[in-house]
Structure 1
Amino acid sequence: MCGTHFRLSARAKANRRDLHRPGRTPSSCRPCQSKTPGDTVAAPRQDRETRRRIARMQAKRDLAQRQAKRRKRDNLFAGTAGVLALALALALQVAWFSSNPTPEETRLIEQQAAAAETNGAVPGPVPDKSAAEGKIFSGTLSTSAGDLGVELDGNVAPQAVAVFSSLAESGFFAGKTCHRLTTGETMGVLQCGSVNGDGAGDPAYQWGPVENTPADGVYPAGSIAVARGASTDSNGTQFFIVYKDSLIPQDTGGYTIMGKLTSGLDVLEAVAAQGAVKEGAEVQDGTPKTPVTIDSFTLK
């Protein structure tokens, strides 16, 4: 009797302790763990594990992107963008393969990539210059700051015009930002068309050569030119529009002038008048204070 009484008292004490612990259920009131054949605990558990794996993969990608951005140099026309983007691509590849994705995760990522390509987020193959030789394209670059009338001349820069008319037709530029504004004493340009809006290029989409560069290094106001990396064959999807006569050194080969503005120069001048910032400070080469996003780029 004494032993039984002792055990009952100990259980009662345990229950009283449980009642004073937040979130605890007395041992005598805890439900039994049923293991019937119809138990469906495994499916939710697999779903949770899949979500955790996807979250870990995304975290690795985010970390790789942040590290690549910290390494990115501030070259005026993305001089090292191709190299940095390649480093980022390799980092993402390492993150992808080290995560051992399940078939379901692979399917989700393939769907996301296909959607991005359909929406023009990924540039297609580089077109041959014959697509623009002897042709002049005119149209409108619609931005959040205002509309710009444009003309691209395939007579003087057939390769560049073939590329940019193809990108425009595919809808690639819709939603892209103009990430860089330069307001120096001898140079004034607005740069746009980066794949991710950070100035980095796409290492898988590079082309050349440089065409139609000014011998004296003077880019007239209204010029539309192609941004590139260090090599003359590292042109990509980025371009810059000159809003005032600008002197740009030609010692590395210059930049292709592929066209000009036919209207809207005042739109750029208004953006430039607001200045540029970098890390909260006003600078002559940084992000436009007035955000500029491309709504559409149409040519005919």
Structure 2
Amino acid sequence: MRTSALSSSRVRLALLALTAATALALAGCASNPTTDAGAQPTSAASDSPVASGECSYPADSRPASKPVDAPDADPTASGDVSATIATSAGDLAVTLDAEAAPCTVNSFLSLAKQSYFDGTTCHRLTTQGIFVLQCGDPTGTGTGGPGYSFADELNGSETYPAGTLAMANAGPNTNGSQFFVVYADTQLPPSYTVFGHLDAASTEIVAGIADEGTANGAPDGAPKTPVKITAVTQG
């Protein structure tokens, strides 16, 4: 959960790193939930930006980390959408919620179809305060994105139990390609768009990765067991 705080690029860096009320951070989780991996995001709840039937994906201030086109403004998916995030640690079965987060799911599926996630690593694992695995950055640094951003899809009642799939961000309406998977119930402010969930078996796979800890032994860092996404497919 998908921190944000520092100077221009460093702020986005930190904001893109998960953070909990303790000091982790969801930066990258578009950035990230925070702890210190950064500061805790404070995006305010907002209504779905797709009320008019269209989504907006304006160009971001930073170039795309990997060649990709912005999604079409009209989301085509609806209801529950099955998808698989194939990783080096095992396949993660997810159900995307295109009703609650149509623009987010539209972007995620567009990036998946363009193979944007293929070959990328899940660059961040938090094991204290907040319990998430963050992925979606081709640079593997927590600062990469698709070259566009889009609005939050929040109603203020969001919670982040184990199995939640949500966007990381660097503040309100800064969603890009980074997302996070919650592997144990986590307390975060309702500032990260929830766009799906993993099934129990897939959540256990991520929890198993977390059991191995981080590469540097700290509560926030790259997973000790490298996790590479090989493909994201719908259906």
- Give the TM-score normalised by structure 2: 0.71
Q: Deviations over 1:40-91 (max 9, x none)?
A: xxxxxxxxxxxxxxxxxxxxxxxxxxxx78x954742327988xx957x6xx
Equivalent position of 2:132 in the other structure? 189
Q: How many positions carry a matched residue from both structures?
A: 189
Q: More helix per residue: 1 or 2? A: 1
Contact persistence 1:195–1:237 (CA under 8 A)? no
- Give the TM-score normalised by structure 1: 0.57
Contact persistence 2:68–2:146 (CA under 8 A)? no
Equivalent in 223, 232, 235 of residue 297 of structure 1: 232
CA distance, structure 1, for counterparts of residue 93 and residue 14 of structure 2: 32
Contact persistence 1:72–1:80 (CA under 8 A)? no
Equivalent position of 1:239 in the other structure? 179
Once the 2 structures are TM-superposed, how far is the Cα of residue 139 of structure 1 from its aligned partner?
2.1
CA distance, structure 2, for counterparts of residue 265 and residue 81 of structure 1: 21
| 1:77 equivalenced with 2:18 (yes/no) | no
Structure 1 runs (4+) greater than 6 angstroms displaced? 79-82
Q: How is 1:61-100 mapped onto 2 (pairs within 5 angstroms)?
A: 72-73=13-14, 75=17, 76-78=25-27
CA distance, structure 1, for counterparts of residue 28 and residue 80 of structure 2: 29
CA distance, structure 2, for counterparts of residue 166 and residue 81 of structure 1: 16
Secondary structure of 1:78's counterpart equals: coil
Residue 200 and residue 79 in structure 1: after superposition, are their counterparts in 2 closer, same or farther (change >3 A)?
closer
Residue 242 and residue 77 in structure 1: after superposition, are their counterparts in 2 closer, same or farther (change >3 A)?
same
The root-mean-square deviation of aligned C-alpha atoms, in Å, is: 2.8
**Structure 2, unpaired ranges of 5+:** 1-8, 18-24, 32-59
Give the share of equivalent positions with the same residue, in percent. Answer: 39
Larger radius of gyration: 1
Equivalent position of 1:96 in the other structure? none
Q: Deviations over 1:118-137 (max 9, x none)?
A: xx9322113325323x3321
Residue 275 and residue 163 in structure 1: after superposition, are their counterparts in 2 closer, same or farther (change >3 A)?
same
Equivalent in 143, 147, 166 of residue 110 of structure 2: 166
| 1:260 equivalenced with 2:197 (yes/no) | yes
Amino acid aligned to 2:212: Q
Secondary structure of 1:218's counterpart equals: coil
Equivalent position of 2:153 in the other structure? 211
Contact persistence 1:213–1:257 (CA under 8 A)? no
Residue 255 and residue 80 in structure 1: after superposition, are their counterparts in 2 closer, same or farther (change >3 A)?
closer
Q: How is 1:1-300 mapped onto 2 (pairs within 5 angstroms)?
A: 72-73=13-14, 75=17, 76-78=25-27, 121-132=66-77, 134-185=78-129, 187-202=130-145, 204-208=147-151, 210-212=152-154, 215=157, 218-230=159-171, 232-250=172-190, 254-262=191-199, 263-277=201-215, 281-300=216-235
Residue 238 and residue 213 in structure 1: after superposition, are their counterparts in 2 closer, same or farther (change >3 A)?
farther
Equivalent position of 1:3 in the other structure? none
Residue 218 and residue 165 in structure 1: after superposition, are their counterparts in 2 closer, same or farther (change >3 A)?
same
Contact persistence 1:149–1:261 (CA under 8 A)? yes
Bigger relative contact order (CA 8 A; separation at least 6): 2
Residue 156 and residue 207 in structure 1: after superposition, are their counterparts in 2 closer, same or farther (change >3 A)?
same
